[in-house]
Structure 1
Amino acid sequence: MPKVVSIHSYRGGTGKSNFTANLATTVALQGYRVGVVDTDVPSPGIHNLFCLEPEQMDKTLNNYLWGDSPIEDSAYDVGTMIGVTEPGKLYLVPSSVKPDHIARILRDGYDVKLMNDGFRSLVKTLKLDYLFIDTHPGLSKETFLSIAISHILLLILRPDKQDYQGTAVTVDVARQLKVRKMLLAINKAHSKLNLDVLKQKVEETYGETVAGVFPLSEDLIQLASEGVFCVKYPEHPLSQEFRKVAQQIMEG
């Protein structure tokens, strides 16, 4: 049974796309067929992590949403670009970075049901084991759809008051939408914080499992979104933490 995993955060800047790329890659490296869809249509960016250049993106999610082409035509085999070998597969459906395309989506919106149909079609056509959805931050009808159809919702938050309040709202919404499984991940935790105490405090506050705690990392910042961290630095503590979270997704 294929699994849909939404990676979401209430605010931008939490490292959501980095999380999505690293978790999807980690799962694909275990030999699974994995798809990633960048539904952050107003501000797409995950294609950079998978070394997919805009000029290589002949078709995007936008083309599918406008009825120009099937969603499968926008799926790129990025696994071959970053070192995922058989039997594992890694596909990305990027959103367009063309300013006129972004402006059109912001102006006209898109059919949310069509997006849902696209997810189903992608899973079936590419025979996916996992579909990761990189969402747009905040809460909107598009986000509600992603949350509602997810088998697992992974919420990313930083140790920050705005993130704490926003995550509380998102957790409540996810419960109302009866999401099947929710996990939390704390990102960009300052080195002076006691990570175990932080994890315990967050779990008690939200009543949900913290799947991983990620310290603020200069190594990750230095990579500057040019590649997937867990592939470039497989033995790094961050990569080990990504593996820990991926394991909980695969077991869930």
Structure 2
Amino acid sequence: MSGKIISIHSFRGGTGKSNIAANLAAMAALEGKRVAVMDTDMASPGIHVIFGMGREKMKYTLNDYLRGTCDITDTCLDLTDRLKIKKGKLFLIPSSMAATDITRILREGYEVGDLKKGFTDVIKGKDLDYLIIDTHPGLDRETLLSMATAHYLFVVARIDEQDLLGTAATLSVARKLQVPEIRIIINKKPSIYEDKAIISEVESKFKAKVATIIPLLPLLIEVGSRFVVSLRYPESEFTKHIQDILNIMR
């Protein structure tokens, strides 16, 4: 297995994790990479909305694979042409938005080993350079698995005491799992804070490097997760921050 697993995580919801994962996947594909982004947040899926798939019926989802009704490669939606990506390939592996599927996965669970096998099989089956995993917030089975198998873990946090305390817990677990590369992404930074001060405090406190600091941007508020910002606005400040993250993955 030559492809890299990139886990995008946050301890709490609302950090902008899914938006970062979607844009990171799109930008990697633009550079000619073969990329899949997988939504493992089966309790509250949503990354497909950012790719413009909010109202479309999907033949197979990650839920179907975990129930054993299809192969993991059957769940891959090829978004390359839809998003006008010319060099690379971009696949989306969505989770089901159907209430029955969500309640079923919460009630019955699934074999974690099947999800791990799915990671390996989709990288091999689609010849991926990157598998980007959009995790469920907090520390649950999916998150622990995505961390344990990840080459890179990016923990997204806001300048918020609850976020930062949760980030500390996440980093502690990640180190026990021996994740090779761990970085912190500070998102939605209020303008009253200076980047240098944040980097100094965060890196000293958490003993992990800051990948980038994304300010609270009016553009993202306006967009509201309706599309992939880095594709629509390649010169935007947000896109430059996503590029910073992508540079670390190389």
TM-score using structure 1 length? 0.97
Structure-to-structure mapping, 1:75-90, within 5 angstroms: 75-86=76-87, 88-90=88-90
Whether 2:178 is the aligned partner of 1:178: answer: yes
Residues 83-142 of structure 1 deviation map (CA, whole Å, 9 limit, x = unaligned): 2112x0000000000001101011111111100101111001100010000000000122
Structure-to-structure mapping, 1:12-31, within 5 angstroms: 12-31=13-32
Structure 2 match to 1:218: 218
Whether 2:53 is the aligned partner of 1:63: answer: no
**Cα distance between partner residues in 2 of 1:114 and 1:227:** 31
**Cα distance between partner residues in 2 of 1:188 and 1:225:** 14
1:79 is displaced (CA, Å) by: 2.4
Structure 2: 5+ residue stretches without partners: none
Structure 1 match to 2:234: 234
Structure 2 match to 1:49: 50
Structure-to-structure mapping, 1:50-199, within 5 angstroms: 50-86=51-87, 88-199=88-199
Classify the secondary structure of the residue corresponding to 2:128: coil
1:55 is displaced (CA, Å) by: 3.0
**Cα distance between partner residues in 1 of 2:244 and 2:221:** 21
1:53 is displaced (CA, Å) by: 3.6
**Cα distance between partner residues in 2 of 1:72 and 1:93:** 9
**Cα distance between partner residues in 2 of 1:80 and 1:10:** 34
Corresponding letter in the other structure for 1:236: S
**Cα distance between partner residues in 2 of 1:154 and 1:173:** 13
Residues 161-197 of structure 1 deviation map (CA, whole Å, 9 limit, x = unaligned): 0011000011000000111110110000001111221
Classify the secondary structure of the residue corresponding to 1:58: coil
Structure 2 match to 1:40: 41
Corresponding letter in the other structure for 1:95: S
Q: Is the 8 A contact 1:5 1:153 kept in 2?
A: yes
Aligned residues: 249
Classify the secondary structure of the residue corresponding to 2:186: strand
**Cα distance between partner residues in 1 of 2:235 and 2:12:** 30
Structure 1 match to 2:10: 9
**Cα distance between partner residues in 2 of 1:56 and 1:72:** 17
Sequence identity (%):
44
TM-score using structure 2 length? 0.97
Classify the secondary structure of the residue corresponding to 1:184: strand
Deviating above 6 A after TM superposition, structure 1's stretches of 4 or more consecutive aligned residues are none
Corresponding letter in the other structure for 2:6: V
